[in-house]
Structure 1
Amino acid sequence: MALNSGPPAFGPYYENHGYQLENYPPRHLVNTNAYVPYPVPYCASAVPQYIPRVITDTSTPPAVHLQPKSSSGIVFTSKAKKIICVAISIGIILIGAVIATIFLWKFVKTTCPNSGIECGTSGTCINPANWCDGISHCPSGEDENHCVRLYGPKFILQVYSSHNKSWYPVCHDDWNDFYGKIACKDMGYNMNSFYSSQGITDNSGATSYMKLNLSAGNVDLYEKLYTSNVCFSKTVVSLRCIECGTVIKVNQLNRIVGGTIAAPGEWPWQVSLHVQGIHVCGGSIITPEWIVTAAHCVEEPLSSPRYWTAFAGLLRQSVMFYGSGYKVQKIISHPNYDSKTKNNDVALMKLQTPLIFNEKIRPVCLPNPGMMFEPTQLCWISGWGATYEKGKTSDILNAVMVPIIESWRCNSRYVYNNMITPAMICAGYLKGKIDSCQGDSGGPLVTEKNSVWWLVGDTSWGSGCAKANRPGVYGNLTVFTDWIYQQMQANR
């Protein structure tokens, strides 16, 4: 990360609409073919691309030998003994096969392959992209009846009405934390991380609400909800599934343009992702189990989770060398990631064991649909990347402030010449001197709004480091929020 000063610049609104928009057709995953990059000779290849080759040892599990026992006290001939032994062996093998078949049947019956989502009790599996897309894919329509989201900077709970084809805020009448935990679970959160559920004044101008029908009996939460034009409490549900985007009080004087050494707890969502004891990429904590990083970090040959270890709450790489870290259980790259253009450059890592949150380890908030980041909104990047182009990884975590740059300006012929898609955000200074660099990949681009820190992007690529007219490019998390929730739900 280059840490020199530079003049400010201002960017556009980056609004997270979310899926199933009310006024136009549902947004699907970004079509990478819709934006044809037009590289020019002076644009170097995308960086950072530090991909070390990893050599691993493979081992063959020992064979299991079954040794059937014969009854004692009876004398058999040699031939009879062989027949009995063969019969017993075959019997044991058949019994084992039956047991294995039963277990396999149960596993297949309750598990969807390829990160699919199961349709209730029917056993039907659908693609996560088809969940809450406005079209019923499950036999009983569960994929459109269990659609919830958090809207805007105040985390307003909204439920989708498949009948009316629209999202509605939930009236706080008769609402309690029990229902809040169910809604959070349906968004892919662990109910143990549940934070709060409260009523707040609705300033959205909504005239219709989802309300609880307590007389509906012991049925599914969504069967209790119905649309109503009346909300007696005049408040709607604000739901926090996890306490995210908060930091301990630090010396604000340290946050100056030009970059600083990070203080303990200042960027608690930042993680260092290691391969064989070497820092390769950064990432951002969004739940105790899930980390957001860049898809280009986990390309072949580093696509296997067994290569990766995550370190959280530590500022120095030299300290991590002696730590055990957190092993990665699963890696999910965006299905439309393009390794050449770096379009849709986002990936998720699920940890084998959940993080334990404290003052130094905390999650950042995903940008809710309806979030708008104003042109004056300033962002911060952090990481252990090189402090100059082709330099070495930094031992200490650094952070620097960067403004968003309008996409039209970043796509001009003098900058990136139409290489920036809606799934990307430019941030930095056109005069150079301040930028992310090799080793910062996958790390956070965050901003503070309404006293909450939001994950605006993940460090993706750039031409060199801190060069004039070559600002950093980041994955646009406002585009990926829906996909992230779908994966969390499918891989609980």
Structure 2
Amino acid sequence: MSRVTLVSCVLLLLALGTSAADIEGSPCQRDGYNGTCVLAKHCETLILDYKEQNYPPVCGLRGKEPIVCCTDCDLVDNIENIYLSRQHSRLEKTNEKSWDACIDNALYIPDYHCKSTISYGFHKQYNPERKCHSIVSSAWSPVGGEDAERAEFPFMALLGFGPSAEEAQWLCGGSVISARYILTAAHCISEPRLGPLKYAALGILKRSDPPEIWQRHTLAQVIPHPDYVSPSKYHDIALLKTEKQIEFNVNVVPACLYSGRISPYINKTRALALGWGYLGPRKRLADVLQKVEVSEFTAEECLKQYPPHRHLLDGFDNSTQLCFGDRDTPHDTCQGDSGGPLILHESEAGCTRAVLGVTSSGVACGDAGAGLYTRIEHYKPWIVSIVWP
């Protein structure tokens, strides 16, 4: 709801005789329920009231900001930052640049569609124990919906080395995170036999997809983390800037960065690793994008698996690295998956996918154990300073 609309409604109500004598924080009544006079921007149920043209009693004004009778259980910072979406449920901006960009992607990219066919509805509900109201959501799935595998991970990038995009060898992965930037591993920025990284292919599910499906991009800038020193496994993260803006469509949309928030709905101990790497020892590179479910290992397990050695002088670093895999069976990434994302199963914002880590290194392909991933949460300030300055 815009502030102009709110103020117009307030002035209309005042003109109709609504009292402005009450002050902010004073008790009030609305529709037979006890409430408190608060700034309208703090009263979340006003979002639904406004849509239904069911305006609350006005207590007064603070400057140009209306003070209304609110019966909410909990107040919010600003209802202008809250979006109630039939496709994505409730979203709230927080002035954190990467998180707000994630919400904008979900809301405003026309082709951003959900794999799920669930739709959400919202209504105001009274809590008899707390004697107040809140907005609750309900979800339903229409009959006949079908998941689309081709667009399941539309942020995936395949990275190429060689003299031209047509002759390139595609040997690393990455994640589109904005209209100009792709996230990958720093050790992917050059290949000893083929030279520097030059190209990115987007919008594909298979290496064998026809050329018209490939959205090829030449890289304008390759930005490894300033603390990365090859061949060390620390700070193994890089950003790739494309020469031209990425065209978003049903097969190409950006991923989000994991927010780091604690939520009862997010299980960050289970994740999916993605890539077009080798299918196993002495096997070929995958034609179709592969996904593998992996579990988080404890810091103690990771340090045991990754003790100090010449490329990891202090061993596994829990503050900058993650350790995911399978303790019993060979479920993990393989050579060629480097730079690809480790993503959460659950979505933090609607049906967007959140990148938890970047594939860095691992045990011998085909062995049980854990792969090594760069922890996105630690490097988010650096990423934001470049992508969303």
Give the aligned partner of residue 392 of structure 1: 284
What are the superposed Cα offsets for residues 8-63 of structure 1, whole Å, 9 maximum, x if unpaired?
xxxxxxxxxxxxxxxxxxxxxxxxxxxxxxxxxxxxxxxxxxxxxxxxxxxxxxxx
Match of 1:334 among 221, 225, 240: 225
Change (3 A) 1:376 1:476: closer
Q: Tell me if structure 2 keeps the 8 A contact 1:431–1:467.
A: no
Structure 2 spans left out of the alignment, 5+ residues = 6-40, 46-61, 65-73, 82-91, 94-99, 119-147, 163-167, 309-314
Give the Cα–Cα distance (whole angstroms) in 2 for the partners of residues 408 and 235 of structure 1. Answer: 40
The offset of 1:318, in angstroms, is 2.1
Amino acid across the alignment from 2:274? S
Structure 2 residue 130 is the aligned partner of structure 1 residue 288: no
Which residue, out of 267, 275, 279, partners 2:170?
279
Contact 2:161/2:191 (8 A) holds in 1: no
> For residues 243 and 292 of structure 1, what CA distance do their matches in structure 2 show?
16
Alignment RMSD (CA, Å) = 3.6
Q: Which residue of 1 aligns with 2:216?
A: 325
Change beyond 3 A, Cα 1:411–1:201: farther
Q: Distance in 2 between matches of 1:200 and 1:329?
A: 46
1:444 aligned onto 2:345: no
Q: Is the 8 A contact 1:311 1:320 kept in 2?
A: no
1:456 offset after TM fit, Å? 0.1
TM-score normalised by length of structure 2: 0.58
Q: Would the aligned equivalents of 1:247 and 1:267 in 2 still touch at CA under 8 Å?
A: no
Task: Give the TM-score taking structure 1 as reference length.
Answer: 0.47
Instruction: Give secondary structure in 1 for the equivalent of 2:300.
Output: helix
Q: Does the CA-based 8 Å contact 1:330-1:351 persist in structure 2?
A: yes
Q: Which residue of 2 aligns with 1:367?
A: 258
Q: In 1, Cα distance between the equivalents of 2:76 and 2:222?
A: 43
Structure-1 residue corresponding to 2:307 = 417
Name whichever structure is richer in strand by fraction. Answer: 2
Cα drift, residue 365 of structure 1? 0.6
Count residues with an aligned counterpart: 259
- Asked if structure 2 preserves the Cα contact closer than 8 Å seen for 1:337 and 1:344, the reply is yes
Equivalent position amino acid for 1:389 in 2: P
Query: AA paired with 1:308?
Result: K
* 1:249 corresponds to: 115
Distance in 2, Cα, partners of 1:487 & 1:214? 38
The one-letter code sitting in structure 1 at the alignment partner of 2:354 is W
Post-superposition offset of 1:390: 4.2
- The 1-side partners of 2:171 and 2:43 are apart by 43
Relative distance call for 1:265 and 1:244 in structure 2 (3 A) is same
Q: How far apart in 2 are the matches of 1:399 and 1:175?
A: 48
Q: Name the counterpart of 1:406.
A: 298
Unaligned runs of 5+ in 1: 1-171, 177-197, 203-212, 216-231, 253-261
Higher relative contact order (CA 8 A, sep 6+): 1
- In the alignment, which residue of structure 2 is the partner of 1:485? 384
Contact 2:362 2:372 (8 Å CA) reproduced: yes
Deviations 1:179-228 (A, max 9, x none): xxxxxxxxxxxxxxxxxxx98869xxxxxxxxxx999xxxxxxxxxxxxx
Distance 1:364 1:380 in 2: 14
- 1:235 equivalenced with 2:77 (yes/no): yes
Q: Rg: which structure is higher?
A: 1
Q: State the alpha-carbon separation in 2 of the partners of residues 427 and 288 from structure 1.
A: 29
In structure 1, what residue type is equivalent to 2:235? N
Code of the aligned partner of 2:296: I
Q: Which residue of 2 aligns with 1:379?
A: 271
Letter aligned with residue 269 of structure 1: F
